[in-house]
């Protein structure tokens, strides 16, 4: 049996390869004023090379090759960082993947989490690859900045590297993400769970937004769940709905594997694991379907760390770095205010990539000005009026209270938002000294 491969060469300086196994793609190209690429499933395998700047086919060459279990095509890529904001459109809004192609692709990777194909997973692949495609393209690009840290920590905790894709399902790789129910960060920790795993939350910081600390907390949680259930899919389900709901589903179903307890899990969790499998698949094989990563503002995610000695002032650091407080805060998502939470050991502050020289060149100036600023703040705090409270007693009036406290009636009205002279017993009045 023979398979026919049609290769289209396109004028370009950087190009992208699309190859399929058994299920192939027919691609219709449009000129630059058309903002789409149509992809239709075909019987034959098709290789298409597409251009980022133009779409003029200059040569068509058809060759025959013998049938084999896999087709390996080696293409020279002049530019590995190929980006496009164009959306790839698929016939019927479905990704042309079946169980055979899915299992073949997954066999090329060393996945430790079971990658099982069924209609639930297929539905999620179709959703992420079509309606969610613009976000998927962004995730591929953002992952280049997030995943090196994730992989380092996952290796440290001896966990499967594909766990990193869970952060996309949870937050879309957004450390500032906040759900309607109060979960925060790239790994979406609720306050109670965050405290269990020693993530600090106070007026100055929210460590759920720290990529390093929250990833470690997520690894600790997932490792505990896997040790308890000996099943990665069940461990992932537990991360979403909690071990209590998992135990309940096991009791009702009499099963201990995810697909066995599936019907007894909360609806959100029923979709959660298929979403994870689908996302893991597409993040590894998006290019097989003509999906190209989109460009992002890399400077927002490229950072390095500098050591700040105890007492360095955040605002002065930002000033000497030529940044606003908001810009510097964007590189330090765990900080809620323009204030560094020193604990007697200094602090590692994130700054834009390749700008540490600027910090260290100005460190002496930062240190001296921080000392002056700290003294100014101490004096201002000492001179700041202290608030006390007076609880109104029966029979007291504003005039009587003003005389007792050595203030004026006008001041009492201003401090407490009182328009007339009416006050009530047990009412608490603020008095500044």
User: Any idea what DSSP says for residue 178?
Assistant: B
Alpha helix segments (H runs only) across 335-387: 356-361, 363-383
**For residue 392, which phi and psi values (nearest 5 degrees)?**
-65, 130
CA torsion 179-210-154-280 (nearest 10°) is: 40
**Distance from CA of residue 318 to its chain's centroid?**
25
Query: How many other C-beta atoms can be found within 10 angstroms of the C-beta atom of residue 146?
Result: 20
CA pair distance 431, 415, nearest whole angstrom: 7
Relative to beta strand 47-51, strand 36-42 is: unpaired
CA torsion 264-173-143-207 (nearest 10°) is: -110
CA pair distance 165, 248, nearest whole angstrom: 27
Computed from CA positions of residues 183, 189, 192, 193, in that sequence, does the dihedral angle turn out positive or negative?
positive
CA pair distance 411, 401, nearest whole angstrom: 11
CA pair distance 411, 360, nearest whole angstrom: 50
- Under a CB-based contact definition with an 8 Å cutoff, are residues 389 and 428 in contact? yes
CA pair distance 14, 29, nearest whole angstrom: 16
CA pair distance 269, 237, nearest whole angstrom: 6
CA pair distance 346, 329, nearest whole angstrom: 17
Is 170 a catalytic site residue?
A: yes
Nearest in space to 361 (alpha carbons), one of 322, 408, 405, 315: 322
For residue 116, what are the CA distances in angstroms to 38, 40, 112, 283, 336?
28, 25, 12, 16, 41
CA pair distance 334, 214, nearest whole angstrom: 10
- Under a CB-based contact definition with an 8 Å cutoff, are residues 137 and 283 in contact? no
170, 207, 288, 334: which is the annotated catalytic residue?
170
| Active site residues per annotation | 170
């Amino acid at each position: 049996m023979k398979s026919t491969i049609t290769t289209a060469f396109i004028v370009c300086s950087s190009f992208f390869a699309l190859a399929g196994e058994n299920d192939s793609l027919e691609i219709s190209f449009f000129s630059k004023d058309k903002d789409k690429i149509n992809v239709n499933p075909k019987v034959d395998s098709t290789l298409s090379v597409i251009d980022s700047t133009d779409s003029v086919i200059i040569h068509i060459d058809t060759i025959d090759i013998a049938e084999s279990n896999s087709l390996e095509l080696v293409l020279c890529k002049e530019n590995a960082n190929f980006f496009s904001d164009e959306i790839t459109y698929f016939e019927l809004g479905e990704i042309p993947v079946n169980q055979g192609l899915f299992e073949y692709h997954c066999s090329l990777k060393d996945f430790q989490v079971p990658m099982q194909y069924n209609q639930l997973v297929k539905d999620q692949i179709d959703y992420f690859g079509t309606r969610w495609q613009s976000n998927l393209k962004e995730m591929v690009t953002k992952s280049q900045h997030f995943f090196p840290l994730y992989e380092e920590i996952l290796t440290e905790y001896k966990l499967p590297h594909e766990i990193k894709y869970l952060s996309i399902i949870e937050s879309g790789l957004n450390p500032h993400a906040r759900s309607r129910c109060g979960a925060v960060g790239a790994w979406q920790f609720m306050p109670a769970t965050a405290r269990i795993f020693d993530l600090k939350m106070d007026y100055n910081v929210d460590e759920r937004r720290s990529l390093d600390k929250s990833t470690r907390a997520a690894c600790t949680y997932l490792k505990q769940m896997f040790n308890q259930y000996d099943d990665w899919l069940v461990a992932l389900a537990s991360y979403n709905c909690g071990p209590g709901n998992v135990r309940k589903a096991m009791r009702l179903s009499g099963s201990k594997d995810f697909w066995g307890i599936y019907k007894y899990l909360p609806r959100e969790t029923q979709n959660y694991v298929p979403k994870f499998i689908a996302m893991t698949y597409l993040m590894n094989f998006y290019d097989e379907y003509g999906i190209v990563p989109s460009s992002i503002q890399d400077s927002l995610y490229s950072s390095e760390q500098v050591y700040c000695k105890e007492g360095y002032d955040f605002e002065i650091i930002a000033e000497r770095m030529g940044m606003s407080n908001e810009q510097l805060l964007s590189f330090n998502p765990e900080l809620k205010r323009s204030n560094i939470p020193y604990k007697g050991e200094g602090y590692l502050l994130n700054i834009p990539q390749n700008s540490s020289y600027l910090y260290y060149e100005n460190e002496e100036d930062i240190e001296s000005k921080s000392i002056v600023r700290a003294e100014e703040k101490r004096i201002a705090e000492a001179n700041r009026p202290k608030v006390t409270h007076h609880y109104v007693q029966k029979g007291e009036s504003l005039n009587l209270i003003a005389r007792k406290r050595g203030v004026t009636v006008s001041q009492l009205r201003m401090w407490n938002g009182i328009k007339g002279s009416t006050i009530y017993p047990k009412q608490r009045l603020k008095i500044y000294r």
